[in-house]
């Protein structure tokens, strides 16, 4: 069955998109996802100065069912890419040359400075990527630089920065929204006023996944310290579904929604689509089950549509 879909003028071979994060951390893994059959991929978030990004280890925590041991929740304190922007620009070009029929979306994030956002937009755009996803939603790290959710929690900043990007962008711009806010509709509508043609929702939920009763330290612990991180996996899906449905009822016609949050099988993805998402993104699901999860997603959607 033909599962292709056109969103904001971009043709996806299917509506399943690799979400921004570890599964899209370099050209090799992006190529692996396209070889497996994913319709699109959002690369790991890039910025102008990777030297300011320091990723620690360990940076993941898991919440397991007490009955079955199954992973039902996943937390990360990972930051955006720490690889130089010049390396990313070359890899974006390579991927688009090798996989012209697959959609490559660049996730970008910068400090609160117009010149930096517009410089990054121009540099990345010239590589041939198909769209941008503005990271207004990373819940941890670099808030001191007014990045990520430090912008997305404030509609005025969201609108302003989106407009900076759309002033120079020649390709569609999506804004990725934080769930760590009372009303997700307000910053989403602000992004649309700034020129965004799509909204991605949701990013991870700010959390502390647990405490080690032996060391008396919160998890994950790095040299005795930790920080609240982003919570994902199955447990967040009901929250994500609620927010996607709110967006579908409030955004102007023609604004696309890319649903994210706790998707691990086709049934999960279909639920998002029925509530208004035109595409869906998987990140944690791919980390837990691998890129070949796309086979069940495609088969399940095709079966549902027949």
Nearest to 119 by CA among 48, 15, 189: 48
- Indicate the DSSP class of residue 215: T
pLDDT at 227: 87
What residues contact residue 23 under an 8 Å CB cut-off, 6+ apart?
Answer: 29, 33, 41, 283, 286, 287, 291
Q: Residue 16 belongs to what domain range?
A: 5-48+84-206+232-305
Average pLDDT over the chain, rounded to whole?
Answer: 95
Tell me which of 48-62, 139-153, 165-179, 180-194 is least confident.
139-153
Query: What would the two tokens of residue 206 be?
Result: 């700010």
For residue 225, tell me if it sits in a domain.
no
> d(Cα 172, Cα 268) in Å, to the nearest integer?
26
Task: Give domain status of residue 156, yes or no.
Answer: yes
The whole-number pLDDT of residue 58 equals: 83
Instruction: Report yes or no on 66 lying in a domain.
Output: no
Residue 135 lies in a domain: yes
Give the chain's radius of gyration (CA, Å). Answer: 18
Least confident piece of the model among 24-28, 58-62, 197-201, 273-277: 58-62
In a domain, residue 71? The reply is no
Confidence of residue 142 (pLDDT cuts 50, 70, 90): low
**Which two structure tokens, joined as six digits, stand for 261?**
């949050």
Q: Catalytic residue positions?
A: 138
CA distance linking residue 272 with residue 288, whole number of Å:
20
In a domain, 130, yes or no: yes
Range 20-40 average pLDDT: 97
The pLDDT-based confidence of 141 (bands split at 50, 70, 90) is low
Task: Report helix, strand or coil for 53.
Answer: coil
State residue 256's pLDDT score. Answer: 99
User: Tokens 């043709």 identify what position?
Assistant: 11
Q: What is the pTM of this model?
A: 0.95
Q: Are 200 and 136 in contact (CB under 8 A)?
A: no
| pLDDT given for residue 143 in this prediction | 64
Q: Which long-range contacts (CB under 8 A, 24 or more apart) does 236-240 make?
A: 236/73, 236/179, 236/202, 236/204, 236/205, 236/261, 236/262, 237/261, 237/262, 237/263, 237/268, 237/271, 238/262, 239/179, 239/202, 239/205, 240/179, 240/201, 240/202, 240/272
Sequence-distant (6+) residues with CB within 8 A of 172 are 8, 9, 10, 130, 131, 132, 197, 198
139 in a structural domain: yes
- Count of domains observed in the chain: 1
**Which residues fall within 8 angstroms of residue 261, CB to CB, at 6 or more apart?**
179, 201, 202, 232, 236, 237, 239, 240, 241
The CATH number of the domain holding residue 297 is: 3.20.20.70
**pLDDT tens-digit series, residues 251-299:** 999 999 999 999 999 999 999 999 999 999 999 999 999 999 999 999 9
161-217 pLDDT tens trace: 999 999 999 999 999 999 999 999 999 999 999 999 999 999 999 999 999 999 999
Give a yes or no: residue 68 inside a domain.
no
- In angstroms, the CA 268 to CA 256 distance is 19
């Amino acid at each position: 069955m033909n599962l292709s879909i056109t969103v904001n003028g971009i043709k996806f071979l299917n509506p399943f998109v690799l979400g921004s994060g570890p599964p899209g951390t370099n050209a090799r893994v992006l190529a692996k996802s396209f070889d497996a059959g994913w319709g699109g991929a959002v690369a790991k978030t890039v910025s102008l100065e990777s030297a300011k990004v320091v990723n620690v280890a360990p940076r993941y925590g898991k919440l397991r069912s007490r009955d079955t041991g199954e992973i039902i929740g996943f937390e990360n304190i990972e930051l955006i890419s720490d690889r130089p922007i010049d390396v990313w620009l070359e890899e974006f070009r390579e991927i688009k040359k090798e996989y012209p029929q697959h959609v490559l979306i660049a996730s970008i994030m910068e400090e609160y400075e117009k010149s930096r956002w517009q410089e990054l937009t121009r540099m990345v755009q010239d590589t041939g990527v198909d769209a941008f996803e503005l990271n207004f939603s990373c819940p941890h790290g670099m808030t001191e630089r007014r990045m990520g959710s430090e912008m997305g929690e404030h509609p005025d900043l969201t609108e302003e920065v989106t407009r900076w990007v759309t002033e120079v962008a020649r390709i569609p711009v999506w804004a990725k929204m934080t769930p760590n806010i009372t009303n997700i509709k307000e910053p989403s509508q602000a992004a649309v006023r700034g020129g965004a043609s799509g909204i991605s929702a949701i990013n991870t939920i700010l959390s502390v996944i647990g405490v080690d009763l032996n060391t008396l330290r919160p998890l994950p612990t790095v040299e005795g310290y930790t920080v609240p991180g982003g919570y994902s996996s199955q447990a967040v899906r009901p929250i994500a579904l609620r927010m996607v449905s709110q967006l579908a009822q409030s955004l102007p016609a023609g604004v696309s929604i890319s649903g994210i949050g706790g998707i691990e099988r086709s049934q999960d993805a279909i639920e998002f689509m029925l509530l208004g998402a035109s595409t869906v993104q998987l990140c944690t699901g791919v980390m837990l089950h691998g890129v070949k999860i796309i086979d069940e997603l495609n088969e399940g959607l095709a079966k549902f549509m027949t």
